[in-house]
Structure 1
Amino acid sequence: MSYEFTIIVPVYNEEDNLERVEKELSEYMAKSAKKTKILFVNDGSKDKSQQLIESICKRNTDFSYILFEENRGLSAAIKAGFDYTDTALVGYIDSDLQTTPEDFDLLLAEIGEFDLVTGVRADRKDSFVKNMSSTIANSIRRAFTSDGMDDTGCPLKVIKTDFAKRIPMFKGLHRFLPAMILLQNGKVKQVPVRHFPRIAGTAKFGLWNRLLGPLMDCFAYLWMKKKYINYRVAKQG
């Protein structure tokens, strides 16, 4: 049976989480209705993450990895995952596991008529400052993009791979994935998913890059929307 679904796991200095990632993803794959494989994208980690990733991949034939020469950021890691995916569906989950792989099934159940299905973190277990800054950033992004999404920062998504590969990624664009699918005349949907406190490791985003960064990216998105090339082939011979 060939693989149907690839789960991208971006990693940056997550050595304390990786064994739990292996356990939870293995348990999910054992009961998933779709034949699934895992792709770690190591974004130039400086701790023991790569050593652990290679050990995990040796133990599990459904796990593989790519390693960046240097840290390039979350959007680059997600783009690389899209580039190296060869299944019809692709998704991603953060290696901090504040969302659970089990909830991929909620998204996969809806992907048939949609081209991207994203989670919305219900009852978020983050600090007040983190929750408030995300709420403000999402409000600003919605005003610019009209994508109708409440939580594009949710690290649990499923996308049809042919749409994912056509996204012209830039730094910070992981927050604009639904909007970029809409630019392709695709259909998007959001589904509530569970959220959990971070158990190990440290958050990679602070107040500065949750508010100022997304605001600047909104102007980049408006430029891209104006210049975006979209076409459909009517006939080929």
Structure 2
Amino acid sequence: MDYQFTIIVPVYNEEDNLIRVEQELLAYMKIASKKTKVLFVNDGSKDSSQEHIEAIASRHPEFKYISFKENRGLSAAIKAGFDYADTELVGYIDSDLQTAPEDFNLLLEHINDYHLVTGVRANRKDSFVKNMSSTIANGIRRTFTKDGMDDTGCPLKVIKTDYAKRIPMFEGLHRFLPAMILLQNGKIIQVPVQHFPRVAGQAKFGVWNRLIGPLMDCFAYLWMKKKYINYTVEKQN
């Protein structure tokens, strides 16, 4: 079957959410504007997430998975998803489902004209501390990267796969995906999407990795921007 779009779902200790993930992604596939499949990336979960993932994959051939030997973090999980994707387009959504799969269609409307389309969470349903730390972190990142994006942490994105595969990922870089597309002379846009409270499982990010960590990552980005290799082949034989 010729799939056009792969949704990456990073998973770390999300056993209480995975049945809902299965149901909501199956519902999305019925209305998806592109022929869609799912790739779970189990980031070394220590609960029963892998058993749930394998059960889902056994029920539905459009659900695939890879599983890490040990926990390597969200950026590594997204990078592995990019590496294993074999469709023209790739996207990702968090397994906590605080964003809605059906909103992928809003992003896909723009992907012909852009190389990355990211959601921006409207009316975020998070705590004051979480919202404030994210707002500050996004402001710092915009100052460094000049990417113009208001919410790069939004876990709903669509990227042209050839651009995604060229991103030199490092830990924390999932917040810099729009900036990394700009380094490739790509075009980016943000689109408002729905946001919901977490209903199961535990958040994996605190104030440190939502605020202080991204500030340190900005310096890594500036170094990478200075050293980044980008070229276009005009002719070959």
User: Smaller-chain TM-score range?
Assistant: over 0.9
Q: CA deviation at 1:33?
A: 2.2
Q: Deviations over 1:33-74 (max 9, x none)?
A: 211000000000000000000000000010000000000000
For residue 157 of structure 1, what is the aligned residue in structure 2? 157
RMSD (Å), alpha carbons: 0.4
Do 2:53 and 2:65's aligned partners in 1 also have CA atoms closer than 8 Å? yes
Q: Deviations over 1:203-223 (max 9, x none)?
A: 000011111100000000000
Q: Deviations over 1:125-183 (max 9, x none)?
A: 00000000000000000000000000000000000000000000000000000000000
Q: TM-score, normalised by structure 1?
A: 1.00
Q: Deviations over 1:93-147 (max 9, x none)?
A: 0000000000000000011110000000000000000000000000000000000
For residue 8 of structure 1, what is the aligned residue in structure 2? 8
Give, as a single letter, the amino acid of the residue that structure 2 aligns with 1:109: E
Tell me whether 1:83 sits opposite 2:66 in the alignment: no
Distance 1:32 1:90 in 2: 13
Distance 2:102 2:35 in 1: 14
Distance 1:208 1:160 in 2: 31
Identity of aligned residues (%): 79
Q: Which 5+ residue runs of structure 2 have no aligned equivalent? A: none
Tell me whether 1:173 sits opposite 2:173 in the alignment: yes
For residue 205 of structure 1, what is the aligned residue in structure 2? 205
Deviating beyond 3 angstroms after TM superposition, the runs of 4 or more aligned structure 1 residues are none
Q: Which 5+ residue runs of structure 1 have no aligned equivalent? A: none
Q: TM-score, normalised by structure 2?
A: 1.00
Tell me whether 1:64 sits opposite 2:64 in the alignment: yes
| SS state at 2:53 partner | helix
Tell me whether 1:96 sits opposite 2:96 in the alignment: yes
For residue 39 of structure 1, what is the aligned residue in structure 2? 39
Do 2:10 and 2:78's aligned partners in 1 also have CA atoms closer than 8 Å? yes
